[in-house]
Amino acid sequence: MKAIPTCDVEEAVSALRRGDAIGLPTETVYGLAADATNPAAVARVFALKRRPANHPLIVHIASAAQLGRWARVVSPWATALAASFWPGPLTLVLPRAEHVLDAITGGQETVAVRVPAHPLAQKVLIAFGSGVVAPSANRFGRISPTMPEHVRAEFGDDVACVLDGGACAVGIESTILDVSTNTPRILRPGAVTVPMLEAVLDTPVASTAEAGSPRVPGGLPAHYAPRTPLELVDASAFRLLDTGPDALWLTWSADPPAGSGLRLPAEATGYAKGLYAALRILDARGARQLYVEKPPESQQWAGVRDRLTRAAAGAGADERGS
């Protein structure tokens, strides 16, 4: 299998115009980008990711000025949120414009849209002039890529090229906020938190139950999952556990036992930035069990908690989401 070549912005835009899929750096994770108006290109993204057809995709655009091309209604809430958080890691779910492909919306009456902040994504979107779908550039259910080499490891030469944008600054997927109804609702937590949104909206923001909440037994979608079985362990307990020689640790409050894991920063933004790369490194060691120290309970950590809970639900299993 050949490696995916690195491309520049011009080559990336040509590939998108041809209907090819490319590896696109965003500030959240690397996306598998394709022309959002080209049904064959969108179908190729689903095929490459092996993603089930009913999982809708996010349309990425260059600026809020293009939002009206994708959304039938741009409400005052949407306008205010776009002004505050775009470009940035917030996706808005809005009533769809008529022409938006059913493959993108999952056949729903809404469409998800975001303006990414990464300078290379910005350059590509400005030159391309239209929207691209860009789900995380990993096979369905696997750990999302935050470095160009992660995209190469996932896709070999199935992708036309990858733009080298270095390590992603945010490191976990965007916050998804549904503003298509009378109650703004978080569908996926991320770097833009509930208090940040409420400060702009001046109204309470609802959240779907966090993955792993005991109120949704059996409803845990597996996601972002390493192959190694992964268990979340209380911060207070982790120093006491005798985990044996073929177990690995991912910690934040103290170092793991010597040679048996990695430690991430003890604040949410630094932790999120390093999370997926750390999971990939630990997964590659082929341990029997990966123990992850539970993150704190505060709002700032909601995105990290969500990803780790899904990773724990999906680790070692076959049924996953992407």
**Smallest distance from ligand AMP to CB 245, Å:** 37
Question: Any contact of residue 105 with ligand AMP (CB under 6 A)?
Answer: yes
**Smallest distance from Mg ion to CB 131, Å:** 18
Tokens of 87: 């470009």
- The binding track of 143-182 with respect to ligand AMP, each residue x by CB under 6 A or -, is ------------------------------x--x------
Q: Which stretch binds ligand AMP (CB under 6 A): 34-42, 110-118, 227-235, 280-288?
A: 110-118
Question: Any contact of residue 136 with ligand AMP (CB under 6 A)?
Answer: yes
Question: Any contact of residue 322 with Mg ion (CB under 5 A)?
Answer: yes
**Smallest distance from Mg ion to CB 276, Å:** 11
- Please tell me the distance from the alpha carbon of residue 33 to that of residue 41, in angstroms, as a whole number: 9
Interface residue with ligand AMP among 50, 55, 239, 285 (CB under 6 A) is: 55
Question: Any contact of residue 228 with Mg ion (CB under 5 A)?
Answer: no
Please identify, using beta-carbon distances, which residue of 120 and 290 lies nearer to ligand AMP: 120
Which one-letter amino acid corresponds to residue 55?
A: H
Please identify, using beta-carbon distances, which residue of 135 and 256 lies nearer to ligand AMP: 135
Q: Are 3 and 9 in contact (CB under 8 A)?
A: no
Question: Any contact of residue 288 with ligand AMP (CB under 6 A)?
Answer: no
Cα distance between the two ends of the chain: 24
Tokens 């990939």, residue? 280
Question: Any contact of residue 300 with Mg ion (CB under 5 A)?
Answer: no
Tokens of 251: 């910690």
Interface residue with ligand AMP among 27, 36, 48, 56 (CB under 6 A) is: 56
Using CB under 6 A as the criterion, which residues of the chain lie in contact with ligand AMP when the complex forms? 55-58, 93, 105, 108, 110-112, 135-136, 173, 176, 187-188, 322
Residues engaged in binding Mg ion (CB under 5 A): 136, 322
